[in-house]
């Protein structure tokens, strides 16, 4: 690796809740630098969640992220001419990143309604243990479980 790794930037909390995780989630949703559009989507989804559950939407969002985030994943490793899918534990930062990405992709794949409504429905489904994002996490866990025999190849 040439040079030194880029320094980690400290992200400040979002405008409404002053929550760093919500600010990061807004940044993940943002496309082409349109941050106000991304904020409108997230805050609109939070309003829908608040109307439906009568609870703080941030707590529900954090529950959904915890439910969606993977604990283990498989990575390909070449050993003696053969490729093995080796299960590895997921670091906290990557866990958050994958959880957010899966929530966003599952929301985009839903039919009908605005993005805020689709995101709200996906978050509520994730809290219940349903939805495409939770299914994706279960698939990753199942893949790691089935390849547990190759765990000794991990560094």
Section 2-15 average pLDDT? 91
| pLDDT tens profile 88-141 | 999 989 999 999 999 999 999 999 889 999 999 999 999 999 999 999 999 999
Q: What is the pLDDT of residue 155?
A: 67
- CATH code for the domain of 77: 1.10.455.10
In a domain, 2, yes or no: no
| Per-residue pLDDT band at 153 (split at 50, 70, 90) | confident
Structural domain of 101 = 20-153
DSSP 71: S
Give the integer Cα–Cα distance in Å for 117 and 51.
Answer: 12
Terminal-residue alpha carbon distance, the chain? 19
Bridge partners, residue 83, by sequence = 78
Pairing relationship of beta strands 82-89 and 72-79 according to DSSP bridges: antiparallel
4 assigned to some structural domain:
no
Asked if residue 154 has pLDDT above 80, the reply is no
Q: How far apart are CA 122 and CA 136, in angstroms?
A: 13
Q: Which tokens in the block code for residue 90? A: 């997921």
- Region for 78 from its dihedrals, namely left if φ exceeds 0, alpha if ψ lies in -120 to 50, beta otherwise: beta
Does some domain include residue 15? Answer: no
Computed over every residue of the chain, the mean pLDDT equals: 92
Q: Is the pLDDT of residue 58 over 90?
A: yes
Please tell me the number of Cα atoms within 13 Å of 130 on its side-chain side. 5
Q: For the residues 76-87, what does the mean pLDDT come to?
A: 88
When divided into structural domains, the chain yields a total of 1
In this predicted structure, what is the pLDDT of residue 79?
Answer: 86
Report the chain's C-alpha Rg in angstroms. Answer: 18
């Amino acid at each position: 690796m040439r040079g030194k790794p880029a320094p980690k930037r400290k992200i400040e909390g979002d405008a409404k809740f002053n929550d760093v995780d919500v600010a990061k989630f807004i940044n993940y949703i943002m496309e082409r630098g349109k941050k106000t559009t991304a904020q409108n989507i997230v805050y609109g989804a939070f309003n829908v969640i608040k109307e439906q559950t009568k609870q703080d939407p941030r707590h529900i969002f954090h529950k959904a992220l915890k439910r969606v985030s993977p604990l283990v994943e498989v990575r390909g490793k070449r050993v003696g001419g053969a490729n093995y899918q080796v299960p590895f534990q997921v670091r906290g930062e990557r866990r958050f990143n994958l959880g957010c990405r899966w929530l966003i992709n599952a929301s985009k794949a839903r039919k009908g309604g605005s993005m805020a409504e689709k995101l709200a429905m996906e978050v509520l489904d994730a809290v219940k243990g349903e939805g495409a994002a939770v299914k994706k996490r279960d698939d990753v866990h199942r893949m790691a479980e089935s390849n547990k025999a190759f765990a000794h190849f991990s560094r």
